[in-house]
Structure formats: C-alpha cells, structure tokens
Amino acid sequence: MQEIATNVYIEDQYPGITLGAVCLPRGLIQIDAPPFLEDGRSWRASLLGLGGGSERVLINLDAHPDRTLGARSMECTTIVHEKTAHIFRNRPSLLKGQGDDSGSEWETVPNLSNLRWATPEIVFSHQMALEWGETSVLLEHKPGSRAGAIWVTLPGYKVVFVGDAIVKQQPPFLAHANLPVWIEALEDLLSDNYRGFTVVSGRGGTCATVTIRNQLDFLIEVRKELDKLTSRKASLDAVDKLVEPLLAHFKYPASRQDQYAQRLRYGLRNCYSRNFSAASKEEE
C-alpha cells in the first residue's frame, strides 16, 4: 500500500485495477474493490490498521466487473452513479460463466461463477460530496470511458481518481466509450483546473502528465480512424485491421499480447457499431 497524500492510499497489487482508500475522522472511504473474494479479505485486513472513524463506504468508479465483482466482500455501503446502478439492476443476481471475451482481467480466471453482485445503496446523478471531516470528497459524473463512470476528487489534497479514463501501458476499454466526451475530459485534466494534482489511474497507479497526453493522443487517433471507416461505410471486419497498429502504442509483457489484442478488437467493434449506427440515423 502506498500513501500518495496524507491519509490517502492506493494499492495496485491485486489483479487488474488500482484501489484507493481515504482515511478520515468519520471513517474510511474505499475506491473500488478487488475482483476476487480472497483478495477482498486481504484488502480489508490491510485497511484495518489505517485507523480513523468507524464508518465505511465503497465507491465504484464504474460498472466494470473488474472493480465491482468484489464489492459485496467489502461489507459496507456502496455508492455509484445512477447509470451504473441501472446496469446492476439489469444484471442477473449471480455471475454465471465467463463474459464476452472483452479482454478484462476477471475473464482470465477459469471456472469463475456463482458470485453475487452487490446492490448499491447510494446513487447520484451528476455530483455528490462526502463531508467526513475538514476535507470534502467530491464525486463527479465523467461519462467518457463508460456511461456511469465517475471521478473522485479530493481538492484539499489535490488528488483525483479517474478510473478507466486513463490506463497505463495497456489499451483502454472502448466498448462503451463516448470518445468526444472522453477526449474533452482528458483535455480538462491537462488544463489549469488540475494543475498540481496527483492523478490516479484505474489501472496502473499514479500518472505523469505524459501518460495523460499519450492516452489523449491515442483516443484522438482512434476517433479519426473510426470516422474514416464510417465515412466509407466499411464493414465491421475492417475494424480488425486497426488492432495491430493501435496496439503498437503500448509497451506490455508479451504474455498479455492476446488479451490486449482481444480487448482492442472487442472495444473497437462495439465502438464502431455505435458510431456507424449514429451516422446512419443522422443521414436518414
């Protein structure tokens, strides 16, 4: 566990995601949960030594299974955006079998099934603040990487958790992306509004400015390439030709090649299908 500001901690030893914890006089604010039960127990044990008040809440930054599968094991009140809550309401109560082969971390675990999703207790639409002492914790809707994605900002500590808006040295998840909104959010992150802030990626820990710029440049290129295909009314199979050149933007272990290629392929196909459908409707 790493302390990145006074009483603000991150942990990236668990599969897939970076976890956060903020220890305040009223209690502990947890940001995302490890995806697997045994990791959840380990994380909870690590948090016991942080002190603070007795209250506990968990904030899920979006609906991705990598960060929500283990929410129930945290045994505390869960806060999500209303669009994330909608996804939870429409999921089966139990996870059954593997997923859509989306290149997610949880899909790499064999025989993972019969896990029960947590039901969020607190839901908000645009913005929410937790006042648990002298420091405000601000939750803001940032629907770029996913419709129900949020950022958690601690203005007093100049720390912001941005979830999958930024991932380090791996391709982002594009299947549910709103690329123009996502690009605008990263441009804002590079502006004076966040000058001096520590930016915490949802996968990879703290981010340097160059990491944010690289993510922004990548998304701009993805948008440009998908717009080209849309203007040509290209088939869905044409999207697959983008995978290899786009994957070259990242440095990653060779063992992740197939997983990351599939993540990009799955994301690009879904993103293009929505892009093409929207363009067709506008033409009509």
Neighbouring C-beta atoms of residue 214, cutoff 10 Å: 17
pLDDT averaged over every residue in the chain:
87
Is the model's pLDDT at 31 over the cut of 90?
yes
Looking at per-residue confidence, does 282 or 204 come out higher?
204
pLDDT in tens, 207-242: 999 999 999 999 999 999 999 998 888 888 899 999
Is the model's pLDDT at 203 over the cut of 70?
yes
Looking at per-residue confidence, does 203 or 35 come out higher?
203
**pLDDT at position 283:** 46
Question: Parallel, antiparallel, or unpaired for β 198-203 and 159-167?
Answer: parallel
pLDDT in tens, 260-270: 999 999 999 99
**pLDDT at position 284:** 42
Confidence category of residue 282, pLDDT binned at 50, 70, 90: very low
Using a pLDDT cut of 70, give the percent of the chain over it.
91
* Span between the terminal Cα atoms of the chain, in Å: 54
136 has which bridge partners? 131
pLDDT in tens, 167-189: 998 999 999 999 999 999 999 99
Mean pLDDT of 2-16: 91
With left for phi above 0 and alpha for psi between -120 and 50, is residue 169 left, alpha or beta?
A: left
What is the enclosing helix (H) or strand (E) of 275? Answer: helix 257-283
Domain architecture of the chain: domains with CATH: 2-208 (3.60.15.10)
**pLDDT at position 178:** 94
How remote is the C-alpha of 172 from its chain's centroid? 9
Is the model's pLDDT at 93 over the cut of 70?
no
**pLDDT at position 15:** 80
